[in-house]
Each structure stands twice: as structure tokens, then as C-alpha cells.
Amino acid sequence: MIVQLASLEIRMARSENLPVLPQAVGEIMRLADDPNANQREMEKAFEQDPAMTAKILKVANSAYYGGANVPTIGRAISFLGMSAIRSMVVGISFQQMSMNRSESRHFDKLVFWQNSLATAIGSRVLAKLKVPAKGEELYCAGMMHDIGILIFERFVPKELDEAIELSNRSGKSLPDAEKEVLGFDHTEVGGILAQKWALNDLLRNAIRYHLDPKSDSSYFETTQVVGWANQIAGLCGFPGHGVAKVPSEAELAASIGLPPEQMPIIRQVVTQEIEKIQSSFSIAA
């Protein structure tokens, strides 16, 4: 039975089961976007969430960052920078969000997390080539690009199972299968959730339009980077759920405007980063 998008939106608005960004995370993201914000304001935001502070310090002192001696969140912010701290906070909180108990039989938490992480890393890598000033912001966009799937998993798990099964059985992409089962896909729902979370326009548009960047008249360039990164995640063996339509390395390189020989290097960087993060941070175990 087709689910009405408006009906699902009403359920999202009324439900306590809606995925929620912790208050500290929302404040940290706001401060990272504010050119007038200072480090002390960021430290105060962390004071609201001691558990997140502990996780950030663990990461800042990990082998991933050279085993630096970073005893306080203030030192971590100075050492890593506010933008990098934002990326860490989003990554950790989003991973925790996606690991809640699921009623969906076919939703694989690790598959979802690895695709999100690979897309985030790929977005950061491509940003260095295309929009250098947006690297950390696009990392966050890549991490959250499929948040609509979390909504399906929470509110319509049976329909999500049907869509995944249909995709696997027929060879259709997951979004096409979602439209057949539900009448809409996870990017539409993701855009609604991004608005409820009060994410900035760049993040919201990347979530809503990464499968169709040409429909994004305001942030086409950055949304396209997330779309490409999602395809790179598939090439790296992290396609997410269902059957992903992934172009060849040569096709993707031509689309991005890169020499074909750069694609294996990008794939290697993404794969190695995922391995380092999972082993050093212990946040995807």
C-alpha cells in the first residue's frame, strides 16, 4: 500500500521516535557555521555533553592524529580546528543514531554506516579538488546524505524491507524501488528531516538532491560533489542497501572531470580512511 508523504510527515512531527540531533551537536554545527563564533563558545557547547567530549578527546589522542597529547576540549579545538571538530561530532553522533535497534529485517546498520562514512570521506577528497573551502562541510553532508533511510527504518520498516527486497530481486536502484513501494524515496524524506533539524541550506540541499544534482539550482556544485562521492563509495565496495547503479571508474572520472588514473588513487584513499577510522576510533564496531 502506497504511503502518503504528507501522512508520514505528520507522524514525524508528532513522534518521539524521530531521530534527534543532540542539543550540543546542533549548537556545535551552528557555531562552526558562524564566522564570528569563538573557541570559548564552542567549549561551552561541549560542556552540555560530557559523553561527546570524552569521545572527541579519545579521537584527538588516537593514532589517527599521531597520538598527540590533547588533555582538554579547548586544546582539541585549537589542535584540530572548529570545522574538523564539527565533522567529528557529526560522524560520532550520526553513527550512534544509526545503531539503534531496528525493526527492519533487511536494514544492516554496518552497511548503512560504512556507506555514509565512505560518502563523507569521498566528499572531503573531492572537495579539495573542486571546492576547497567546503571540505569539512561536505564531509558532514556526505555523512548525512541518506538520513531519509533512517526515517523509513523507524516509521515504515516493513515498506523499507519491501523496497530492499524489490531492489535486490529486480535490479532496480533502491530509490526507484522505494518510489514503487512508498510513492517517494528517501531523499524527499531526508530533506524534510534536514529542515526539522535546522541544517543549513548547503547540507539540506545535498541531502535532498544528491541523486539528482541538476535539480538543485542553488547549491548544484556542492550537491554534485556529494552525488559523485556516493558513487565512489559504491566503487569502493560500500554501495549501501539495495542494488546501486554505479558507473565505471572511467565514466565517473569523465563526469567529475578527472584524469582516469586518479580514480584508483581516490578509491585507495577512501578505503584506507575507512579502515583507519574504524580501527583507531572504534566507532563502527
Residue 284 has pLDDT above 50, yes or no: no
Band of pLDDT at residue 14, cut at 50, 70 and 90: low
Integer Cα distance of 157 and 174 in angstroms = 14
C-alpha–C-alpha distance, residues 139 and 11, integer Å: 30
Q: How far apart are CA 159 and CA 181, in angstroms?
A: 7
- Return the domain boundaries, the chain: 5-19+103-281
Q: What is the pTM assigned to this prediction?
A: 0.85
pLDDT, average across residues 32-58:
86
Mean pLDDT of 139-161: 92
The pLDDT tens digits for 221-264 are 999 999 999 999 999 999 999 887 889 999 999 999 999 999 99
Grid cell at residue 155: 516509521
Q: What percent of the chain has pLDDT over 90?
A: 52
Question: Which of these ranges, 100-109, 161-170, 172-181, 237-246, has the smallest mean pLDDT?
Answer: 100-109
Residue 278 is predicted with a pLDDT of: 72
**Residue 102, pLDDT above cutoff 70:** yes
Q: Give the mean model confidence (pLDDT) for residues 53-77.
A: 83
Mean per-residue pLDDT, 270-279: 84
User: Which of 26, 36, 42, 18 lies closest to 199 in space, CA to CA?
Assistant: 26
Q: Which three cell numbers stand for residue 13?
A: 512531527
What is the 3 state secondary structure string of 23-85?
HHHHHHHHHHHCCCCCHHHHHHHHHCCHHHHHHHHHHHCCHHHCCCCCCCHHHHHHHHCHHHH
Tell me how far apart the 2 most distant CA atoms of the chain are, in Å: 56
pLDDT in tens, 107-135: 998 899 899 999 999 999 999 999 999 99
The listed CATH number (1.10.3720.10, 1.10.3210.10, 1.10.1740.10, 3.40.50.980) that belongs to domain 5-19+103-281: 1.10.3210.10
Between 285 and 219, the higher pLDDT residue: 219
- Cell numbers linked to 71: 588533555
pLDDT at 173 over 60: yes
* Cell matching residue 121: 570521506
Question: Per-residue pLDDT for 37 more than 60?
Answer: yes
State the pLDDT at residue 214.
96
